[in-house]
Amino acid sequence: MDDLRDSQKATIQDALDMGELTIGRGLNQQLGLSRACDTRWGSHYKSFNNFILMFGSIVEVLESLALDARSMDERANAMGHLESCQTFEVAFMLHLMRDVLAISNELNKCLQRKEQDVANVMLLVEVAKKRLQVLRDDEWNSLIAKVSIFCTKHEILIPNFEEPYVSSLRSRRRLAHYTVLHHYRVEVFCNIIDRQLQELNDRFNEVSIDLLHGIACLNPINSFSSFDSKKIMRMVELYPNDFDEFNMDTLENQLASYIVDVRDVDERFSDLNGLFATASVERAFSAMKFIKNDLRSQMSDDFFSGCLVPFVEKDVFDSIPNDAIIKTFQDMKPRKVQL
């Protein structure tokens, strides 16, 4: 890691000397590489982007490790990573995954905003799908251009796209029945984007869409302007075990009364700006699992609620001084010990 930092520093200095970078506050910050692992709240977009930006330094450090290795195993390990990095396949995958994850990462960040309401979720999903489709249909040439410039800069051999494709797992005597172009464009490029699109379709299927649209109809913004009893009734139809025909008729009548009440009668609903945040609910469930785990599974509901609220609303509780909390706790009932 020290060698990587030193190499980065030297690379940035060379670029500044050549006028390729400008000096300014917040510019040219040192980058890092995170360990590959499962992620829940973010994506690996930053890791792919940093790998591309730090590629020269990574190769330099691997070369140094190979030369200064203390054993044959260490040298073979470093040489293996070095040879893998300096291939067109790795360069192509780095840029492709960065472009794909840039789209899903933007969606991911938007869905986690506390002010994000459910009504806007489906629009964001559709935007992500369309951007992925545009990437698939129209941006192949621009991707290859970026990869080619990258390969030229780092002296990586660019294959002839019209030649038969040879896999590293296949004997060179048994050539594939398709070209290098077909492999990268069809089997890799299109396949990865199609999988990402399928993932979005699976997570936001017809049932999920109906459910989200029904919830969004209860958003109080602009005097419940998005209220639609038909969409709510469609959501209710997803729960046939809970709503029979009689209950459906009753609910439809109650919804008609509800919208009149919250719009025109009950003034408490007049200044509401929103109720739903897509990420807040899931964060609350994450907090529940964190607080009430296998080691603390017997806590009472009151104690559990008392722990959960400060954990979820930590931004509010951080602003409360400790002395105020101590005094409130001390005044709740007579205690033998003065806190």
Phi/psi at 305 (5° precision) = -65, -40
DSSP per-residue string spanning 4-26: HHHHHHHHHHHHHHTTSS---TT
| 13, amino acid identity | Q
Residues with Cβ within 8 Å of 216's Cβ and at least 6 positions away in sequence, in order, are 117, 118, 119, 121, 226, 231, 276
* Average pLDDT of the chain, as a whole number: 79
pLDDT band at 28 (very low <50, low <70, confident <90, very high): very low
Both tokens of residue 42?
């973010």
**Domain ranges across the chain:** 1-86, 206-269, 292-331
How does pLDDT run across 208-229, given as a tens digit for each residue? 777 777 777 777 777 787 788 8
Please write the tens of the pLDDT for every residue from 225-278: 778 888 888 888 888 888 888 888 888 888 888 888 888 877 777 776 665 554
Residue 32 binned pLDDT confidence (cut-offs 50, 70, 90) = low
Q: Which of 37, 12, 36 is nearest to 24 (CA)?
A: 12
Asked whether 192 and 96 are in contact (CB, 8 A), the reply is yes
19 or 66, greater pLDDT:
66
pLDDT attached to residue 181: 94
H-type alpha helices, 154-277: 180-182, 191-203, 206-216, 221-224, 229-236, 245-260
DSSP class of 338? -
Percent of the residues in the chain that have a pLDDT greater than 90, as a whole number = 20
| Nearest partner of 131 among 109, 99, 94, judged by Cα | 99
Q: What is the DSSP letter of 164?
A: B
Look at residue 192 in the predicted model and tell me its pLDDT: 95
